[in-house]
Structure 1
Amino acid sequence: MKQRYQVTVDVHVILERADQVLLCLREGTGYRDGWYCLPSGHLEEGETVVDCAIREAREEVGVHLDPAFLRPATVVHHLSPEGKPRMGVFFATDCWNGELFNAEPAKCAELRWVPAEQLPDNTVPYTAAGISLYRDSVGIGLHGWPELASR
């Protein structure tokens, strides 16, 4: 019997301030340390994507998000360099409760506001793709798939 296709779901939160987005510098995670990403994480069993976005923002940058102010930003069907498929659900908001701070110093070296159109060179490509698609008002996009290179 053929195995059903499985994909990891990631949830990303684009926190916006004017034309800037908040990035987290990964450290001590074992994956892309020294690279910037958005507050994000894996969807847990029984959790909605909205609940995941709220949880990740609280766990990583210490703020509380009201689901009424979370906007769907984009969805990215990503294929990692290792060949693992992922589905990234990106939300955006410019409204939160509490002061931003690095709530996971063992996994994050710093928080940094950057212009959304000038991401650092060491931004995780999957993250950069999601921000770019959002800025271009693309509802769903692909990243990392081999056939993209031939288009």
Structure 2
Amino acid sequence: MPITPQHLHATLTTYLSRHPEDKDGLAALTTALEAHPDTIASRKEFRGHVTAGALLLRPDGRVLLVEHKALGKWLFPGGHLEDTDTTLMGAALRELAEETGIDPEQVTPDSPLPLHIDIHPIPANPAKDEPDHQHFDIRYLFRTAADVAELQTEEVLDYSWQFADQITAEPLRTRLLAVPLS
């Protein structure tokens, strides 16, 4: 069964109870979830749709970034939800494995709750007949000692392990730096 509006709502509600300071910044997600709950998980919903991201932390405090081919930017692994995804965390783990070749057995979820939710604009892509839209990226923290095995070259050009203090986006930077290293 695909990810349900109830799962999305429960995730957002739990996240906001833990991070109430993010409420105003996530108003667009809250509004979209209320306005079109049955399509917000679809990549064809151009009023904005949910994606899942993986924040992969190594024991030395470095976080994985991948160079996204279509956007030409360094991002955290992640992407669109698929009909086979049943949870947001599972979708993030699937995307991580697809983009990096890291075996999910070598990855441990840090928490069942997202560490961060980000809203960011995606430019129009005429080749895919997609207008500009927003991604509501639900990001989960995972831990690993593994390295990238094989990049998904259709979507990813390169990868880099960056120390968390090099991440500039707040509040993500502060939250990553607060995670105890193991």
Alpha carbon RMSD of aligned pairs, Å? 3.0
For 1:116 and 1:99, locate their aligned partners in 2 and report how far apart those are by CA, in whole Å: 17
The structure that is strand-richer by fraction is 1
Indicate which of 144, 148, 151 corresponds to 1:100: 148
**Closer, same or farther: CA 117–58 of 1 in aligned 2, 3 Å:** same
**Closer, same or farther: CA 54–130 of 1 in aligned 2, 3 Å:** farther
Indicate which of 117, 133, 142 corresponds to 1:84: 133
Question: What secondary structure, in the 3-state scheme, does the structure 1 residue paired with 2:96 have?
Answer: helix
TM-score, L = length of structure 1:
0.64
**Closer, same or farther: CA 129–80 of 1 in aligned 2, 3 Å:** farther
Q: Confirm or deny that 1:23 pairs with 2:54.
A: no
Indicate which of 46, 50, 53 corresponds to 1:9: 50
For 1:62 and 1:116, locate their aligned partners in 2 and report how far apart those are by CA, in whole Å: 22
Aligned-residue offset at 1:36: 0.4
The one-letter code of the counterpart of 1:9 is V
TM-score, L = length of structure 2:
0.55
Partner in structure 2 of residue 45 of structure 1 = 83
Indicate which of 148, 153, 166 corresponds to 1:118: 166
The structure with higher relative contact order (CA 8 Å, sep 6+) is 1
Indicate which of 96, 116, 127 corresponds to 1:57: 96
For 1:131 and 1:94, locate their aligned partners in 2 and report how far apart those are by CA, in whole Å: 16
**Closer, same or farther: CA 68–20 of 1 in aligned 2, 3 Å:** closer
Question: What secondary structure, in the 3-state scheme, does the structure 1 residue paired with 2:175 have?
Answer: helix
After the TM superposition, list the runs of 4 or more consecutive aligned residues in structure 1 that deviate by more than 6 angstroms. none
Identity %: 19
Deviations 1:30-78 (A, max 9, x none): xx21x101110111235221221121111111113358624231222x1
Partner in structure 1 of residue 16 of structure 2 = none
Q: Give the unaligned 5+ runs of structure 2.
A: 1-34, 41-47, 124-131
For 1:133 and 1:84, locate their aligned partners in 2 and report how far apart those are by CA, in whole Å: 27
Task: Assess if the C-alpha contact under 8 Å between 2:108 and 2:142 holds in 1.
Answer: no
**Closer, same or farther: CA 62–130 of 1 in aligned 2, 3 Å:** farther
Number of positions where the alignment pairs a residue of Structure 1 with one of Structure 2: 122
Task: Assess if the C-alpha contact under 8 Å between 1:90 and 1:130 holds in 2.
Answer: no
- Which residues in structure 2 correspond to 1:65-84 (within 5 Å)? 65=104, 69-71=109-111, 72-76=114-118, 78-80=119-121, 84=133
